[in-house]
Amino acid sequence: MPKKIIRSLCLFTEKLASDANDKLTELQKKLEAEGFLIQTKRICTNGKDFAKLELFYPEKDILLSVGNCDLKYVINNNYDFYKASRTSCHVDISTGVNMAHVEMLFRLIEEAPEKMFQFAFVVNNTTSSPYFPSASFEKNGFALGLQPTDLAEGCSSLEEWFANMQNIWEELCDVLKDESDFLGIDSSIAPLFEGNSSLVQFIKEVYGSFDTAVLSDAFIKITSFIKNNNPKPVGLCGLMLPCLEDFLLADEYKQGKFSLERNLFLSLHSGLGIDTYPIGTDESPEKVLNILQLLVGLSNKYNKPLSARFISDGKAKIGEETSFDNQFLKDVIIKAL
């Protein structure tokens, strides 16, 4: 039987709440009793204080987020952000992006590249997604994000996989029916690593190759299903294409088959943007600005949430191999954007 994995059990709280960890632990026990594996517990708050958040929630197994931050706040409090090892945030660029945003990104590359994993630019973002760094507070409650790729184990078609997802969504809604603060399920496809957790592995099993799937309606079918059949949707409910987290997608990148253009093509009709995409320390800031401006334009034109999370190890230039020292990221030779 496929593993029932919850990638993110996320509690949203407007103010710092002393009972937040107790609530997460209670929910974890309830879900584990039904055979669900909880990968991470998370708290997203509306308070903007990098330093205070980790002091208030010292539990090392809880990931934290302050959600949407003003660019000026991130710049002025950058060292507190650097030191907050469990804390994520994002900056909304829906109304426009300029070189100040790019300069902040390159400052991260230079001073704290490990924090790039916990930072993104977002456009027309949706609230209450339990996935970081896109999570943003709207109201108190909790949401779930799965690792649905594992539910494809043993499946030979998209339809079989869809049936497994449908069963799990309905099971979760039944288990949590008495929880008045249950906000819903973000049915986004969130791949990870390799084997059954990799979306690309399953796509290749069904379509023969990633190239073949890209020029088919495979990804449209997936996103249509997760948007229209989720019984309690919340958050993004889209297709994540994390270049370095799905190790087989990283292999496609290595072979030149996951260019930024292909990433944006898939994101435009099915995906959620540029995710854990490698960037060289010597990349052109002007090119990055152009890409972010394009992201804003596409998001506004097609009225869909898109984000950009670039990744650097702070050392590797274009043509050099990365050394992330991060279990969630596969090392690659950097290509120009």
pLDDT at position 1, please? 66
- Helix, strand, coil in percent for the chain, rounding step 5: 40, 20, 40
For the chain, what is the mean pLDDT?
A: 96
Q: What is the pLDDT of residues 147-189, one digit of tens each?
A: 999 999 999 999 999 999 999 999 999 999 999 999 999 999 9
Q: What is the pLDDT of residues 264-311, one digit of tens each?
A: 999 988 889 999 999 999 999 999 999 999 999 999 999 999 999 999
Domain positions in the chain are 5-311
- Average the pLDDT over 18-35 and give the result: 96
Q: What is the pLDDT of residues 178-205, one digit of tens each?
A: 999 999 999 999 999 999 999 999 999 9
Could you tell me the CA-to-CA distances from 69 to 49, 95, 105, 130 in Å, in that order? 10, 14, 14, 17
List all residues 6 or more positions away from 273 whose beta carbon is below 8 Å from its beta carbon: 123, 267, 295, 305, 306, 307, 308, 309
- Fold for 5-311, please state it: Anaerobic Ribonucleotide-triphosphate Reductase Large Chain (3.20.70)
CA–CA distance, 71 with 234 (Å, rounded to integer) = 26
CB atoms within 10 A of CB 163: 13
State what percent of residues in the chain have pLDDT above 70. Answer: 100
pLDDT at position 22, please? 95
- Average the pLDDT over 258-263 and give the result: 96
pLDDT at position 207, please? 97
pTM of the model: 0.95
